[in-house]
Homo-oligomer: A and B are copies of this chain.
């Protein structure tokens, strides 16, 4: 099958992505210290082992008292209570409140069981021994109830949720010090192409610096995946196959750039086949990013992208990133599509879906987009600052300013 990759039917980017997603299984999991788990997905659902807070607590500095004692309190009928204790946060009072007694209480301290409400100190007058109350209080007024934040047994995070800072705080509030998360995929990067030269020395005529290596590395850093640069190959099928083979042993996924069109020296798909990769997609109906090749070997993913930076990255965002997220165990892997109103026009037409890069503008209460002025395959300069891709459907004519397109964040 994979031998005849040139005959694989070309699909659009959503069909291609969804077809490939089916081939990616659930990753392994491992326990990770809480401080290192941000950006990883939890490998099981987390439920609250305890209520938070697990004691009734005071939300203010003030006085804990029995509401029955101040039932008739008013400015005309001030009630004076005797202060019998002071409760600081983290401390417990052993005092049992009798009629006419109150305890001074600080924010976060446990409300004694024999009190049933808290009055803010600003609403009282007080000395070190007595507090005067001039208003009535309801039972449980100003008492943070047990489980007000998290009830015991409630769902904290469902399986596959990516841990954000608040989720890390949530897990900490329940005392979890190690979190069962999915393994992060380790991703190898290979650059190919006789014209590609590493940075660090003078550029020879006819050569271009290796920008894709840094683009991809930075994108993988942004996604918090681990990566390694495996090296550069010239346009030589044996050399490519050798490095790709090494990569597929060391890494969960390998991404190559260059050598993936249908030209005479586009040896990457051939090298994939030589390595025993089952090619699942060769090319995708999109522009830029049409040239690509995707395959699997023993659960490991091989992603061959174009050597043109804008093509490579557009295909990466549309197809590759969701696959890598699935390899990292994320429950939500596909970007959400939403409507944007174009603030400028774009004259080129395309037979395939065209993905326009640009900037999301939210300032007018509507979702608008400024498409980058340069949309060429090889243009890097217009990519910086872009935060979304809008889809001009296949066969659509020129896009006018004011038109509504589907888009997704990158």
Interface residues of A (CB under 8 A from B): 34-35, 38, 50, 52-55, 59, 61, 88-92, 106-110, 144, 148-150, 154, 156-157, 161, 163-177, 193-196, 199-200, 203, 205-219, 221-222, 235, 261-265, 307, 309, 313, 336-341, 362-367, 374, 376-381, 383-386, 404
Contacts and interface: CB of A to CB of B under 8 A. Distances in A.
Nearest to A362: B338
Contact of A206 (B92, B176, B374): B92
Contact of A173 (B52, B55, B340, B380): B380
A193 B91 CA distance: 11
Contacts of A336: 362-363
Given A88-B235, A214-B35, A221-B38, A193 B108 contact: yes
A168 B164 CA distance: 25
A170 B211 contact: yes
B340 A34 contact: no
A222 B166 CA distance: 12
Contacts of A207: 90
Contact of A89 (B53, B165, B195): B195
29 contacts: A50-B203, A55-B206, A90-B207, A91-B194, A92-B206, A106-B263, A106-B265, A107-B261, A107-B307, A108-B307, A148-B379, A149-B374, A149-B378, A149-B379, A149-B381, A164-B222, A165-B216, A165-B222, A172-B199, A172-B211, A172-B213, A172-B214, A173-B209, A173-B309, A177-B200, A338-B362, A340-B365, A365-B366, A365-B367
B263 A173 contact: no
Given A341-B365, A363-B339, A365-B341, A107 B263 contact: yes
A111 B201 CA distance: 24
Contacts of A341: 365
A218 B108 contact: no
Q: Is the interface of A mostly helix, strand, loop or mixed?
A: loop
Nearest to A196: B90
Of A52, A336, A374, the most chain B CB neighbours within 10 A belong to A52
A150 B380 CA distance: 8
Contacts of A38: 218, 221-222
Contact of A175 (B200, B265, B363): B200
A309 B377 contact: no
Given A208-B53, A261-B107, A175 B203 contact: yes
B170 A381 contact: yes
A171 B366 contact: no
A223 to B, nearest CB: 10
B168 A215 contact: yes
A380 B166 contact: yes
B172 A215 contact: yes
A192 to B, nearest CB: 10
B169 A211 contact: yes
A206 B264 CA distance: 73
Nearest to A360: B362
4 shortest interchain CB distances as A-B pairs: A90-B195, A169-B215, A166-B383, A89-B195
Most chain B Cβ neighbours within 10 Å, of A61, A163, A209, A264: A209
Given A92-B206, A404-B365, A313 B173 contact: no
Nearest to A210: B172
Contact of A166 (B176, B177, B215): B215
| Most chain B Cβ neighbours within 10 Å, of A195, A336, A337, A340 | A195
Contacts of A376: 148-149
A384 B222 contact: no
Given A148-B379, A164-B385, A235-B88, A110 B209 contact: no
B214 A108 contact: no
Contacts of A88: 194, 235, 265
